[in-house]
Chain A
Amino acid sequence: MPEGTICNKRPVATREDLDALLADSNGKKYYAEMEQLDVDAEKLWATIQKTMKSRTKTWLDICAHCGLCADSCFLYSVNGRDPKQVPSYKIQSTLGEIVKKKGNVTNEFMRMCMDTAWSKCTCCNRCGSFCPYGIDMGVMFGYLRGLLHSQGFVPWELKIGSGMHRLFRAQMDVTVEEFVDTCEWMVDEALEEWPCLEIPVDKEDADIVYMINAREAKHYPEDIVEAAILFHVAGENWTMPSEGWEMTSLSMFAGDWEACKMQVETVYGAMERLRPKRMVATECGHAYRATVIEGPYWAGRPDGQPPVECLHYVEWVAEALETGKLKIDPAKRIKEPVTLQDSCNYVRNAGLRDCGRIIMKHIAEDFREMSPNKEHNYCCGGGGGFNGIGRYRKQRNVALKMKREQILATGAKFVIAPCHNCWDAIRDLEEEFEIGIRWSFLKPLLIKMLVVPEHLLPQE
């Protein structure tokens, strides 16, 4: 059997394809089919020849095998310094071998590559900043994921996630109608406490277009209302698009570049349609990376920039606090020790290390830095899709140990994590290790601390 019925080289194209995948329990049938999946060596080699240019070739070629990347990798550290977790080894023994063998590799080898690419690397890119040559193994693992995806060797959940983007332009099946409905009823519920609160949908020429993670629309709609309250209090002229509001990209985790392009073009379409001055992104790391940092390249934009200036939520909050648009009641600042999780996707990989510090200066009395931090911070333990793949849950739980140690060392019991992935990982960390910590996004905290102008309060 060269191709399975649900595990194959074809991406999800119809609702039936998606339902067939979803009907499988925990990907049992999917992974069984994968064991029989043929490797199209010719196509694999042709793809490599077409897409592997001097940067990646040179990286594979000149690696001095010095091992300086070993200690940079948290997965190496938490797995008892297993030499097989050295970043250079991980990429040389997978992508390196595929290239050496000109694509002539076995099914078993490809499955080993899949397990390595999704359970031994979160694409946090920390190793790249510890290599004297600047070899970024996270980038190469991204490339390898693309090759594996093109051959059908991709974790079950990510094939589904990527399929969702292809069908719904969101990582979950949320339609335009459902999204607009959600906004409406959430506002209705909040009106008593926040008179005149609104979520303006599809307003043209606003100052800000706000974009989110589909999880918020599907599972955490209160997050959307919290954002609305903060924009309302800050007096922003803002809007959300009915279509193109979803910034995440499970297809990026899957290495499905075609779906990445489809998704981000929908988002850029909304920007072009509504012509806002700026875009503000919710508290999500990979969504920002996908839409703002990598997206322009998927969409083929030669300047590498999205259509309008884009801000991560921490940038908007830092700006709003500094300019006084949002005011914090000094009596309500966080008194207990508190620490901050720096997301790899918008700190190491997008230069936003200072925003978090500005925010902490305004809201916390006893801010404790993790060590290391800023662009050298460790991954939360669940990045790059790791959190969401059942097949690797055990490995993911081990991976959480580094963050556990970092948090414990600060002495803080409260962690602010302005990133969905980090937030999840830290929640799971507490569930797994019970170290007695609490965690939060910024929005609910800020709302509790705000000085609200008189005219925005309910009239008695």
Chain B
Amino acid sequence: MYEILTGPLLWIAFAVFFVGLAARVVMYFMGLDWRLDRVAYKPHMGYGLKGAFRSVYRWLLPFGTYSWRAKPIFTIMFFVFHIGLVIVPLFLEGHAVMIRNGLGIDWPAMPQLLADVLAIAAFLAGLGIAVRRLLLPEVRILTDIKDIMLLVLILTLLGSGIIATYHTANYSFWITLHVLCGVIVLLAAPFTKLSHIALIFCTRIQIGMDFGIKRGGMKSNFDW
């Protein structure tokens, strides 16, 4: 099982992930329509890019926007969750070894202790986000089965990875579960809400251009 998962299937999953997300990004920008969106993107590209940059930058900063500052606990959970999910998979020693062996690239890795801290923190933040989803009426009303499944998938991915790191008695079970979840995430990303991995930048760029070009950006910068 483990061999199949880490063999050709993993490469297929990566291909689906990158090609799929790239296709969604291309389709997104091709599908923008200056008349229907009511934003003259091309004639004011300078203002547009400035607005887009500010819109992405401010939202990438923890507490960088009014919205982040209005909900500090959620903001902390959000950033801890996402930082863990982006940084750890890329620079974990265990992953770096696979990349070095598979691609022959000298891939950097982060100290194991840091990776552990980030991963466990991300797991706890993810749990917090799940609890919030179930507790707050304004979030519960929006929640559907897909949202729950996605959270379960990501928490299983994180949890099994953390447990496997400690080479417990059932190592092969946990590592197989971990890789399985990873493969599912890669395969599902372009077709589910996980597509926000790439599309969040698209939508933030678009709304930034909207405010930058049409809704006042030529007179004052929107203070996100």
Q: Residues on A close to B: CB < 8 A?
A: 51, 53-55, 57-59, 61-68, 70-72, 76, 81, 83-84, 86, 88-89, 92, 128-136, 293-294, 296-297, 300, 302-305, 348-354, 372, 374-376
Q: How far is the CA of A84 from the CA of B224 in the complex (A)?
A: 26
Residue of B nearest to A295 (CB): B38
Q: How far is the CA of A128 from the CA of B28 in the complex (A)?
A: 19
Q: How far is the CB of B69 from chain A (nearest CB, A)?
A: 11
Q: How far is the CA of A410 from the CA of B34 in the complex (A)?
A: 41
Q: How far is the CA of A375 from the CA of B216 in the complex (A)?
A: 10
CB–CB A83/B140 < 8 A: yes
A293 CB contacts on chain B under 8 angstroms: 214-215
A65 CB contacts on chain B under 8 angstroms: 133, 139, 142-144, 147
- In the complex, whether B70 has a CB less than 8 A from a CB of chain A is yes
- In the complex, whether B30 has a CB less than 8 A from a CB of chain A is yes
CB–CB B216/A352 < 8 A: yes
Q: What 9 new A-B contacts, CB under 8 Å, besides A133-B203, A349-B216?
A: A54-B30, A65-B147, A66-B142, A83-B141, A89-B141, A89-B142, A130-B66, A130-B70, A350-B216
Q: How far is the CB of B157 from chain A (nearest CB, A)?
A: 18
Given contacts A304-B43, A349-B215, A350-B216, contact A134 B206 (CB under 8 A): yes
CB–CB A133/B37 < 8 A: no
CB–CB A54/B27 < 8 A: yes
CB–CB B203/A303 < 8 A: no
CB–CB B219/A350 < 8 A: yes
A88 CB contacts on chain B under 8 angstroms: 142
B33 CB contacts on chain A under 8 angstroms: 53, 55
A351 CB contacts on chain B under 8 angstroms: 211, 215-222
Residue of A nearest to B195 (CB): A62
In chain B between 177 and 224, which residues have their CB closer than 8 angstroms to a CB of chain A? 193, 195-196, 199-200, 202-204, 206-208, 210-211, 213-224
Q: How far is the CA of A66 from the CA of B133 in the complex (A)?
A: 8
Would you list 16 pairs from A and B whose C-beta atoms are within 8 A, ordered by A residue?
A55-B203, A58-B199, A62-B203, A64-B147, A67-B136, A67-B139, A68-B67, A76-B138, A83-B140, A129-B222, A132-B78, A297-B34, A297-B40, A304-B38, A376-B66, A376-B223
CB–CB A354/B28 < 8 A: no
Residue of A nearest to B194 (CB): A62
Given contacts A64-B193, A133-B204, contact A294 B35 (CB under 8 A): no
Residue of A nearest to B204 (CB): A134
A296 CB contacts on chain B under 8 angstroms: 40
CB–CB B196/A64 < 8 A: yes
Q: How far is the CA of A129 from the CA of B119 in the complex (A)?
A: 30
Given contacts A54-B28, A130-B67, contact A62 B199 (CB under 8 A): yes
Q: How far is the CA of A24 from the CA of B141 in the complex (A)?
A: 39
CB–CB B219/A304 < 8 A: no
A72 CB contacts on chain B under 8 angstroms: 67
Nearest 8 A/B pairs, CB to CB: A351-B216, A54-B31, A304-B40, A134-B207, A67-B139, A65-B142, A83-B141, A297-B38
Q: How far is the CA of A297 from the CA of B222 in the complex (A)?
A: 21
Q: How far is the CB of A375 from chain B (nearest CB, A)?
A: 6
Q: How far is the CA of A67 from the CA of B129 in the complex (A)?
A: 11
Q: How far is the CA of A212 from the CA of B224 in the complex (A)?
A: 32
Residue of A nearest to B37 (CB): A55
Instruction: Give the number of A-B contacts (CB < 8 Å).
Output: 152
Q: How far is the CA of A371 from the CA of B36 in the complex (A)?
A: 34
Q: How far is the CB of B162 from chain A (nearest CB, A)?
A: 24
Q: How far is the CA of A89 from the CA of B210 in the complex (A)?
A: 24
Q: How far is the CB of B10 from chain A (nearest CB, A)?
A: 26
**Cross-interface CB contact of B137 among A81, A348, A374, cutoff 8 Å:** A81
A304 CB contacts on chain B under 8 angstroms: 34, 38-40, 43-44, 213-214
Residue of B nearest to A83 (CB): B141
Q: How far is the CB of A78 from chain B (nearest CB, A)?
A: 14
Q: How far is the CA of A294 from the CA of B216 in the complex (A)?
A: 12
- In the complex, whether B59 has a CB less than 8 A from a CB of chain A is yes
- In the complex, whether B160 has a CB less than 8 A from a CB of chain A is no
Residue of A nearest to B67 (CB): A130
Q: How far is the CB of B208 from chain A (nearest CB, A)?
A: 7
A131 CB contacts on chain B under 8 angstroms: 67
Give the residue among B35, B59, B203 with the most A Cβ atoms within 10 A: B203
- In the complex, whether B91 has a CB less than 8 A from a CB of chain A is no
CB–CB A302/B142 < 8 A: no
Q: How far is the CB of A253 from chain B (nearest CB, A)?
A: 16
Q: How far is the CB of B221 from chain A (nearest CB, A)?
A: 8
A349 CB contacts on chain B under 8 angstroms: 215-216
Q: How far is the CB of B60 from chain A (nearest CB, A)?
A: 10
B204 CB contacts on chain A under 8 angstroms: 133-134
Q: How far is the CA of A408 from the CA of B202 in the complex (A)?
A: 41
Q: How far is the CA of A65 from the CA of B144 in the complex (A)?
A: 9
B133 CB contacts on chain A under 8 angstroms: 65
B219 CB contacts on chain A under 8 angstroms: 350-352
- In the complex, whether B87 has a CB less than 8 A from a CB of chain A is no
Residue of A nearest to B55 (CB): A134
Residue of A nearest to B222 (CB): A375
Residue of B nearest to A136 (CB): B207
A294 CB contacts on chain B under 8 angstroms: 38
Q: Interface readout for B69-106 with A: 1 if CB under 8 Å, 0 if not?
A: 01100100010000000000000000000000000000
B215 CB contacts on chain A under 8 angstroms: 293, 348-351
Give the residue among B78, B138, B214 with the most A Cβ atoms within 10 A: B138
Residue of B nearest to A143 (CB): B36
Q: Interface readout for B30-61 with A: 1 if CB under 8 Å, 0 if not?
A: 11111111111001100000000001000100
**Cross-interface CB contact of B224 among A67, A92, A129, A350, cutoff 8 Å:** A129
Residue of B nearest to A84 (CB): B141
Q: How far is the CB of A323 from chain B (nearest CB, A)?
A: 17
Given contacts A55-B206, A65-B139, A375-B223, contact A132 B200 (CB under 8 A): yes
Residue of B nearest to A52 (CB): B36
Q: How far is the CB of B171 from chain A (nearest CB, A)?
A: 34
Q: How far is the CB of B38 from chain A (nearest CB, A)?
A: 4
CB–CB A71/B70 < 8 A: yes
Residue of A nearest to B146 (CB): A65
**Cross-interface CB contact of A297 among B29, B35, B141, B220, cutoff 8 Å:** B35
**Cross-interface CB contact of B200 among A86, A133, A375, cutoff 8 Å:** A133
Given contacts A55-B31, A303-B43, A304-B40, contact A132 B67 (CB under 8 A): yes
